[in-house]
Amino acid sequence: MDSTDAKQSSWSSRIERTLNSYSESLLQTVSDTLVKPRTKLPIPAVIEKCLATLGNPPVIDRRIKDLPEAARMVLAAVSRSGQPQWGVGHLVSLSATLGHPDGVEPVRALFLAGMAFPITKEDPREIWDFDLWLASAGGVRAQVFVPPVVAERARVVPLEVLAVESESLPGNGRETDGLDWPLRLATAWQAVSAEPVRKTLAGLLFKKDRGRFDPVGLFAPPDSTHSPAESGLLSLVWAEAAGLLKQEGETLTAPPFPPIWDGPLFPLIADLTAALFQLQTWDPLVGVTEAENPVPAFPTAMLLTLLLVASAPPDRWVSPAHVAMWLWEHHPGWQGGLTKEAARRHGRPWVDTVLFGLAHPLGLVDVYPRPDDPPVRLSPLGQSLFANGPEPAAAPVLPQTLLVQPNAEVLAYRQGLTPSLISLLSRIAAWKGIGPACTLELTQEQAYRGLESGLTVAEVLQTLARHSTRPVPPAVDDLLRRWATKRERVTVFSSATLVEFGTTADLDAAISRGVVSIKLTDRIGLTADGKEPDFRHLRLTGNRDYESRPFPCMTVESDGVTLVPDPATADLLLEPEVLRIAEPIPGDPPGVRRYRMIPDKVRASATNGTGLDNLDEWFQIRSGSPLPAAARLFAAGPNARPARVEKLVVLRFPTPEVTDGVCQWPITADRLADRLGPTTVAVDPEDLAPLVEALNRIGVQVEQFHGAVE
């Protein structure tokens, strides 16, 4: 299955999942418009028919033709954007701009015709009615998608309402290579890869991270005279929308470059342009906004700006002033979002920034070099994206475009830069300057990140050699190899599976069979990547998961000081933990390993290390019973109150009941020093006589042991 088939299959599954979430009656309604079945079909067959219809271009053409005017216009406009996903609010805004202020009616018509679908959660509740779904999915914030197969057919529907004055001028305009923004987005990727960006709970950037993307240096705008506001932050939010960056929890991280960066420039520019229409928190004149407006004008006004330029014949030029005036008169939400200065000039600065600061550096429009009011027209690439023009032929690429200097600086001439080379360079070298010739520096940190991303030092050197105009200097070759060697000195296995064998011979046998490849100790090995070994060669005698809570795997013998780990359940952390308080008992037979607690070690552990409570908790976890009394004795050590030598008389009663009574009756209890056992008490010699007398008074006889009292 090639990538086009895979994409088609992915969209079919997405549509099928959405149709499955429709109620039966809603599905029948959509099917009546989309499929027009002659007989009533069961649900699975209806869904199958809908999918088949969406794979039939002539039928799609007829269904588009049958749409109400407003819905057809909206569909035609968004289909030219290349962006399949749009907010309902934006579609409503587009419809109104195109002369149909009918609220959500066009969106509903697209749903009912099966030309657009609601974007639901992974586990959607059944959709009974599109109005109810809209209300529950956030109203104007709700998102819809137009299947690419529909967009492909709808993009040729004419949009006559979009028309502005154009002029014919002699000569050619200024073109660009389209690399300015891809380079800045790659730089944003590199910055996030070096240090992830954290966001607040509200999704905003912290001040420290905002500062990293100030519009200077690498993040300076391509055209300083028409600079988009906060161009560094634009690179960041744009890179996120284009899938270069990914939000994980509250952190923005840099995953590997998306596959589109492996191909030619044209599809990448198309992809980045489509991603621009997803920006909800950035405006060309204001910069990053706090997403207070649920339907910001930027995505639709940007699309309409390009479509207005596209409305002119390919060889004619359009003044941005005409575009601004058209938007000023037609777009319902655009004026309100303009700055005072821009509003005073009817939005002209906004249009200039979009055309000269975004579209021109992207290579979508050419600019006619007229000092006063320079007009624009779509470039061949822009024609292909927004005016159904043919795909432009790829420019010849110069493979040798790098110059690696002995000081580890790399000069990259833009004529030979391709998306794949940009992504590769971003992984191995730090961008230092973006201009007609870009500069990079091979640094240890960046080379390390490149190697960590899966590249080998040989691949890095091959890449540099393949694209260099001169051989890679030996000093640079040596430097890269040294950095790679240094990296190999310390390896962190963050979540490996270790295999512990009974004997060294077994481990050697496992290595010879390829079950494990690294020998950690005389009995423990692991695979090269730290993953699970081939179980066909193993008979498992135990299995421990170190991220689960440890469970009892040790017993304490009755002497209270001998610790015996259970070889079947003990983990590797047990021995180091035990050795903090005990030492191995010498002379045990092979396979038996016992430890004896050492008073000094227990005391040190209790006082300097973990503390008595933690030691007690450790015994509970590891042995299932509390800290043994002997260990408490060791821990108390010199801190315990001193013992005292005393002379006491022991009195033994015939039964425990009598002893209980003696201990309870205050007359006798006051004369007792301590109870020693069920039938014995200790008495101070001076208290013996009064005690015996009290007992005699109640008839309890005491046989005086001769010599008990001196």
Q: Note the residues at the interface with other proteins (CB under 8 A).
A: 444-445, 448, 451-452, 483, 486-502, 506, 509-510, 513, 515, 518, 520-521, 524, 529-532, 536-547, 568, 571-573, 575-577, 579
- Rounded-to-integer distance, Cα 530 and Cα 528, Å: 6
- Rounded-to-integer distance, Cα 546 and Cα 503, Å: 23
CB of 247 or CB of 456, closer to other proteins: 456
Least separation, in Å, of the C-beta of 534 and other proteins? 11
Alpha helices in 171-249 (DSSP H): 180-194, 207-212, 231-241
The residues pairing with 433 across neighbouring beta strands, listed in sequence order, are 439
Least separation, in Å, of the C-beta of 563 and other proteins? 15
Q: What's the CA angle centered on 402, arms 400 and 405, to 5 degrees?
A: 135
Closest CA to 315 of 171, 164, 168: 168
Q: Based on the number of CB atoms within 10 Å of its own CB, is 595 exposed (0-12), middle (13-18) or buried (19 or more)? A: buried
Phi, psi of 530 (to 5 degrees): 75, 10
- Rounded-to-integer distance, Cα 185 and Cα 401, Å: 20
Asked whether the beta carbons of 185 and 235 are under 8 A apart, the reply is yes
Least separation, in Å, of the C-beta of 197 and other proteins? 17
CB of 140 or CB of 518, closer to other proteins: 518
The per-residue DSSP string of 292-359 comes to -SSS-SHHHHHHHHHHHHHTS-TT-BB-HHHHHHHHHHH-TTHHHHS-HHHHHTTTHHHHHIIIIIII
Least separation, in Å, of the C-beta of 190 and other proteins? 17
Alpha carbons within 13 A on the beta-carbon side of 125: 8
Least separation, in Å, of the C-beta of 557 and other proteins? 23
- Residue type, position 419, single letter: P
Stated length of the chain:
710
CB of 332 or CB of 552, closer to other proteins: 552
Closest CA to 260 of 3, 2, 1: 3
How many CB atoms are located within 10 Å of the residue 377 CB?
A: 23
Least separation, in Å, of the C-beta of 483 and other proteins? 7
CB of 493 or CB of 551, closer to other proteins: 493
User: Integer distance in angstroms from the first to the last C-alpha of the chain?
Assistant: 106
In angstroms, the Cα distances linking 37 to 30, 33, 55, 563 are: 11, 9, 16, 78
- Rounded-to-integer distance, Cα 626 and Cα 615, Å: 9
Closest CA to 632 of 613, 653, 656: 613
User: Residue 467 belongs to what H/E stretch?
Assistant: helix 457-467
CB of 136 or CB of 504, closer to other proteins: 504
Least separation, in Å, of the C-beta of 468 and other proteins? 25
CB of 246 or CB of 537, closer to other proteins: 537
Least separation, in Å, of the C-beta of 423 and other proteins? 19
CB of 576 or CB of 666, closer to other proteins: 576
> Hey, what are 49's tokens?
């028919």
CB of 202 or CB of 492, closer to other proteins: 492
CB of 183 or CB of 191, closer to other proteins: 191
> Hey, what are 476's tokens?
């640079």
- Rounded-to-integer distance, Cα 283 and Cα 338, Å: 9
CB of 298 or CB of 483, closer to other proteins: 483
Least separation, in Å, of the C-beta of 271 and other proteins? 27
Least separation, in Å, of the C-beta of 535 and other proteins? 9
Closest CA to 392 of 382, 404, 403: 382
CB of 94 or CB of 602, closer to other proteins: 602
Least separation, in Å, of the C-beta of 110 and other proteins? 43
Least separation, in Å, of the C-beta of 489 and other proteins? 4
- Rounded-to-integer distance, Cα 305 and Cα 154, Å: 19
Least separation, in Å, of the C-beta of 461 and other proteins? 17
CB of 162 or CB of 515, closer to other proteins: 515
Asked whether the beta carbons of 673 and 688 are under 8 A apart, the reply is no
CB of 210 or CB of 487, closer to other proteins: 487
CB of 292 or CB of 488, closer to other proteins: 488
Least separation, in Å, of the C-beta of 13 and other proteins? 30
